[in-house]
């Protein structure tokens, strides 16, 4: 038996943003929680790399837009608790052809959910944002509450219980008390929450399950302003999301994270082993950067059309790009949060709350049908 001091109400594996918020909600409800991280903190090996993210209510699906209402509240509450700015309202500009189906669906969702937004025809778009060059037939949809989230995980981590970094999990033994063995020692907990990003299946395989997760390496590109400040957050330049301009979305945030550099990225990447994330670029990496260069040249004329800085992060995608928030099918005190598919950061306050509720066997605050493991019919007995 482990010593009593090593017994926790819950252990969370993975100190990325989802794990941090899960620990935050557990600690808020006075649970003894341990957050385990295999790397020494801070590190840039996971999904959320860099200092800024887009926050938005604009989604095709009602359930994400509904979840975001509470996310904004929790981000504001956390700003207050941490005493640091985490959100800056810039507006989010959705760009696409007038007939783009996804743009129309998002507009309908925003209307249904009562989210303030404005449709901008080409002429008005040109007047409002003269430093964006439009393709013929391109229109805009402006979501007023969109903006930038500053990814200060330390602020959240400090409010969420005990953190042990540099401890890789070597073994999980299911049971009434789950035993977690790391490179340093063993711990016991009444429940276990796995939020291990690209390393999720490595932990789940010995527990008899493999999720349909695809790990992608994403290029995070920053582009130099020809005139410093042209696309700056202080100049009221919005975040943007471009549809129908490439096979996948292109998104951008105003300059500010690095002085004089604007973040413009492609919402897609290439298959990658998380252990070899920094290996030399594949040909498809170069293709992705070429797509971005063409977009920057054609749409953002005040940026140099070659990236000044290129970093990398990881996406862990599900086939439908919806999250997995569920209990292990065999062990109901093991909870899984995975497959955040490159859009989980802004939703992490509510994801953490849901994972806390699942781990404590409480009624979930949201309908979890879109997030259940059982939606993947291929996960039959062969995977169990």
pLDDT tens digits, 303-359? 999 999 999 889 999 999 999 999 999 999 999 999 999 999 999 999 999 999 999
If you average pLDDT over residues 208-224, what whole number do you get?
95
| pLDDT higher than threshold 70 for residue 69 | yes
| pLDDT higher than threshold 50 for residue 10 | yes
Per-residue confidence (pLDDT) for residue 381, from 0 to 100: 42
End-to-end CA distance of the chain: 29
If you average pLDDT over residues 185-208, what whole number do you get?
97
Per-residue confidence (pLDDT) for residue 115, from 0 to 100: 98
If you average pLDDT over residues 37-41, what whole number do you get?
92
- pLDDT confidence tier of residue 32, bands split at 50, 70 and 90: very high
Dist. CA 310–CA 95, nearest whole Å: 24
| pLDDT higher than threshold 80 for residue 65 | yes
For 307-372, where are the alpha helices, taking DSSP H only? Answer: 348-359
Which three-class secondary structure state does DSSP give residue 226?
A: coil
The pLDDT tens digits of the residues spanning 125-171 come to 999 999 999 999 999 999 999 999 987 767 777 777 899 999 999 99
pTM exceeds 0.85 for this model: yes
If you average pLDDT over residues 25-42, what whole number do you get?
93
Per-residue confidence (pLDDT) for residue 247, from 0 to 100: 85
Which of 8-12, 79-83, 273-277 is predicted with the least confidence, judged by mean pLDDT?
273-277
Per-residue confidence (pLDDT) for residue 237, from 0 to 100: 95
| pLDDT higher than threshold 60 for residue 2 | no
List of E strands, the chain: 7-13, 33-36, 52-55, 87-89, 92-97, 117-120, 138-143, 147-150, 162-164, 169-173, 178-182, 186-194, 214-225, 239-242, 250-258, 261-266, 270-271, 303-317, 324-327, 334-338
Per-residue confidence (pLDDT) for residue 380, from 0 to 100: 46
Q: Is 342 left (phi over 0), alpha (psi -120 to 50) or beta?
A: left
**Structure tokens, 380:** 């039959």
Lookup result for tokens 């090996």: 45
Per-residue confidence (pLDDT) for residue 234, from 0 to 100: 85
% the chain with pLDDT above 90: 78
If you average pLDDT over residues 57-72, what whole number do you get?
98
The pLDDT tens digits of the residues spanning 230-271 come to 999 888 899 999 997 778 899 999 998 888 999 999 998 888
Residue 325's closest CA among 24, 74, 67?
67
Average pLDDT, the chain: 91
Contact 200, 338 (CB under 8 A): yes
């Amino acid at each position: 038996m482990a010593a009593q001091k090593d017994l926790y109400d819950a252990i969370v594996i993975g100190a990325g943003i989802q794990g941090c918020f899960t620990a935050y909600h557990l600690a808020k409800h006075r649970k003894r929680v341990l957050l385990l991280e295999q790397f020494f903190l801070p590190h840039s090996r996971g999904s959320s790399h860099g200092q800024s993210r887009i926050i938005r209510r604009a989604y095709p699906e009602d359930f994400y837009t509904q979840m975001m209402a509470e996310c904004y509240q929790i981000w504001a509450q956390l700003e207050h608790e941490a005493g640091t700015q985490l959100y800056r309202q810039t507006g989010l500009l959705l760009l696409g052809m007038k007939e783009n189906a996804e743009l129309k669906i998002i507009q309908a969702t925003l209307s249904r959910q009562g989210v303030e937004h404005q449709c901008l025809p080409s002429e008005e778009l040109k007047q409002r944002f003269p430093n964006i060059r439009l393709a013929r037939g391109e229109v805009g949809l402006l979501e007023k509450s969109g903006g930038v989230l500053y990814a200060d995980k330390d602020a959240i981590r400090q409010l969420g219980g005990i953190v042990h970094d540099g401890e890789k999990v070597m073994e999980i033994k299911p049971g009434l008390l789950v035993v977690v063995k790391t490179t340093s020692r063993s711990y016991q907990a009444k429940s276990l929450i796995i939020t291990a990003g690209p390393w999720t299946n490595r932990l789940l395989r010995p527990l008899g399950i493999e999720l349909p997760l695809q790990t992608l390496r994403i290029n995070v590109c920053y582009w130099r302003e020809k005139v410093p400040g042209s696309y700056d957050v202080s100049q009221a330049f919005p975040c943007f999301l471009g549809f129908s301009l490439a096979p996948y979305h292109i998104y951008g945030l105003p300059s500010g994270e690095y002085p004089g550099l604007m973040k413009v990225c492609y919402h897609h990447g290439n298959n990658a082993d998380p252990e070899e994330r920094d290996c030399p670029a594949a040909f498809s990496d170069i293709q992705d950067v070429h797509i971005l260069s063409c977009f920057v040249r054609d749409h953002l004329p005040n940026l140099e059309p070659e990236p000044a800085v290129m970093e990398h992060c990881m996406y862990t995608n599900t086939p439908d790009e919806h999250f997995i928030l569920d209990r292990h099918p065999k062990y109901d005190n093991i909870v899984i949060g995975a497959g955040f598919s490159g859009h989980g950061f802004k939703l992490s306050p509510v994801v953490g709350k849901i994972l806390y509720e699942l781990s404590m066997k409480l009624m979930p605050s949201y309908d979890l049908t879109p997030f259940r493991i059982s939606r993947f019919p291929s996960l039959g007995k062969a995977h169990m």
